[in-house]
């Protein structure tokens, strides 16, 4: 999702964009990364490669670390060799969720899941390898071109009359198209360091699901559940709302109108696909 929108965001702002798939570049293989970066000689690298399976990381933490930490570090080193900056999208899951006010960039990370540990390790490796780094912590991503919570809810809402969703986890849904634009702006401004960038406002997954069903006019009923009722392998932070302490932060649209924009965009995409 994010990679697709990053390409469109940078291309739309007049940059020459070279996008590489996993088959075209395995970021966990150092010699290949170094050779490809030297060949391209980019001004900036946005690393949209990631292990994103939060529950799967609990049983495969080493694999998650290989991608989110080792691979990210190799890419940051290679970027430095050609004088390029590097952007590393990270996550709200680097925090344990014990606060009840939004986390800012200077708050001490304390991940409680393997996925969160792997992303925090990646932040550290990227920062150590390349002084020209932009670490963008974000949360609850959804967008075209990939599986996400919105699509899951829309599918379940058409298949069953009631859907069980946790109500005791609070965060900020973020549309990848808006996040991609923010990444482009931060890259252009060369405002290095850690940035918190999410959709404005906050909600629980339960409230997010309700809004999805309301906007889609689905009759399915959302039932509230507590986290322990779903018995997921990975622990989640109960509160992971992010805020920025930067003087002039990039501010994204509020999550409700952002969702409406996404719903309109997916409808246009579906219509275009149907018409060939």
- Give pLDDT tens digits for 217-255: 999 999 999 999 999 999 999 999 999 999 999 999 999
Instruction: Tell me if 104 sits within 8 A of 137, measured CB to CB.
Output: no
Measured from the Cβ of residue 155, the count of other Cβ atoms closer than 10 Å reads 12
| Residue among 31, 29, 5, 35 nearest 19 (CA) | 5
Measured between alpha carbons, how far is 172 from 264 in angstroms, rounded to an integer?
20
**What is the average pLDDT across 40-59?**
97
* Active site amino acids: 115
**pLDDT for the residue numbered 272:** 80
Cross-strand bridge partners of residue 225: 166
**pLDDT for the residue numbered 276:** 65
Confidence of residue 275 (pLDDT cuts 50, 70, 90): confident
**pLDDT for the residue numbered 273:** 77
Measured between alpha carbons, how far is 142 from 149 in angstroms, rounded to an integer?
7
Which tokens go with 72? 């990210």
| Average pLDDT, rounded, for the chain | 96
Q: Answer whether residue 19 shows pLDDT above 90.
A: yes
- The string of pLDDT tens digits covering residues 153-181 is 999 999 999 999 999 999 999 999 999 99
By DSSP bridging, strand 133-138 and strand 85-91 are parallel
**What is the average pLDDT across 55-82?**
98
HSE (side-chain half, CA atoms, 13 Å) at 275: 6
CATH number (domain holding residue 171): 3.40.50.720
HSE (side-chain half, CA atoms, 13 Å) at 267: 8
| Residue among 220, 229, 232, 224 nearest 205 (CA) | 224
**What is the average pLDDT across 187-205?**
97
**What is the average pLDDT across 81-86?**
98
Q: Residue 273: exposed, middle, or buried by beta-carbon count in 10 A (0-12, 13-18, 19+)?
A: exposed
Measured between alpha carbons, how far is 172 from 200 in angstroms, rounded to an integer?
7
Confidence of residue 133 (pLDDT cuts 50, 70, 90): very high
**Residues in CB range of 193: below 8 A, 6 or more apart:** 105, 133, 134, 135
DSSP per-residue string spanning the chain: -HHHHHHHHHHHTT-------TTT--TT-HHHHHHHHHHH--SEEE-------HHHHHH-HHHHHIIIIIIHHHHHHHHHHTT-EEEEEEEGGGS-S--SS-B-TTSPP---SHHHHHHHHHHHHHHHH-SSEEEEEE-SEE-TTS--HHHHHHHHHHH-SEEEEESS-EE--EEHHHHHHHHHHHHHHT--EEEE---BS-EEHHHHHHHHHHHHT--PEEEEE-HHHH--SS---SB--B---SSS---PPBHHHHHHHHHHHHHHHHHHHHT-
Number of domains in the chain: 1
Domain that holds residue 151: 2-274
């Amino acid at each position: 999702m994010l990679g697709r929108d990053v390409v469109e965001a940078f291309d739309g702002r007049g940059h020459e964009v070279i996008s590489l798939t996993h088959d075209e570049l395995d970021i966990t293989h150092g010699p290949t990364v170094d050779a490809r970066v030297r060949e391209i000689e980019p001004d900036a690298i946005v690393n949209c490669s990631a292990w994103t399976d939060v529950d799967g990381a609990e049983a495969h933490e080493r694999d998650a670390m290989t991608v989110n930490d080792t691979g990210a570090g190799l890419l940051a080193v290679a970027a430095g060799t050609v004088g390029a900056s590097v952007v590393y999208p990270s996550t709200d899951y680097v925090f344990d969720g014990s606060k009840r006010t939004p986390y800012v960039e200077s708050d001490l990370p304390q991940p409680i899941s393997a996925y969160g540990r792997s992303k925090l390790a990646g932040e550290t490796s990227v920062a150590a390898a390349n002084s020209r780094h932009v670490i963008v912590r974000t949360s609850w991503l959804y967008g075209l071109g990939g599986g996400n919570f919105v699509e899951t809810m829309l599918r379940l809402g058409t298949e069953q009359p009631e859907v069980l969703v946790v109500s005791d986890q609070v965060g900020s849904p973020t549309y990848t198209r808006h996040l991609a634009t923010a990444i482009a702006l931060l890259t252009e401004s060369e405002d290095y360091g850690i940035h918190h960038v999410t959709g404005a406002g906050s909600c629980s997954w339960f409230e997010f699901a309700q809004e999805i069903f309301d906007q889609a006019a689905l009759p399915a009923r959302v039932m509230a559940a507590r986290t322990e009722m779903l018995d997921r392998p990975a622990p989640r932070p109960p509160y992971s709302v992010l805020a920025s302490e930067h003087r002039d932060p990039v501010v994204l649209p509020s999550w409700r109108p952002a969702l409406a924009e996404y719903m309109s965009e997916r409808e246009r995409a579906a219509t275009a696909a149907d018409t060939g």
